[in-house]
Amino acid sequence: MTRRTLAEHTGLSIRTVQRSITQYKEAGHLQTARSKPGEIPPGATKPFWCGFSHRWIVGRGQAGAAMLAAVTAAKLKALARKAARPPKAQRRRKTWQLTDEQRQQLEAIDADSRAREQPPPE
């Protein structure tokens, strides 16, 4: 069934039908696949030259409930992880602190590079 046909049967706009299809696909309740070359769609006598799209509903019954529980658990886990993280303003920034030994090594390298510099020719 096309989006236009679904929209006509339900009395909704095509955009609303497309939005609901997209939301169901993102939630994992609806899957789609393109037809194989030469495949004849249900109710047709010959294949469409441009192909068509299969759509099927996933998981009715116990399989659907298990899938819905898994999706819900994943969403809750992501939400809990986001809620437990402190706001950006309160997060510690990574700052590099040099030890005295590292600072002395860098000063020695800097002094050595300055000693090697040659004055520009005039």
pLDDT band at 120 (very low <50, low <70, confident <90, very high): low
- Average pLDDT for 97-118: 86
Q: What is the pTM of this model?
A: 0.38
Q: What integer best gives the mean pLDDT of the chain?
A: 81
- Average pLDDT for 103-118: 86
CA 93 vs CA 24, 89, 96: distances in Å: 40, 10, 10
pLDDT of residue 15: 92
Question: Using an 8 Å Cβ cutoff, are 20 and 13 in contact?
Answer: no
Interval 16-59: pLDDT, tens: 989 988 888 888 777 878 888 888 877 888 888 887 777 766 66
Place of tokens 């929209």: 7
- Range with lowest mean pLDDT among 75-79, 87-91, 102-106: 87-91
pLDDT of residue 104: 92
Between residues 12 and 91, the one the model is more confident about: 12
Q: Which has the closest alpha carbon to 33: 53, 18, 58? A: 53
Q: Which residues neighbour 18 within 8 Å (Cβ) at sequence distance 6 or greater?
A: 3
Question: Using an 8 Å Cβ cutoff, are 66 and 58 in contact?
Answer: no
- Bridge-partner residues for 45, per DSSP? none
- The rounded distance, in Å, linking the Cα atoms of 33 and 40 is 14
- Bridge-partner residues for 103, per DSSP? none
Interval 59-70: pLDDT, tens: 656 776 777 788
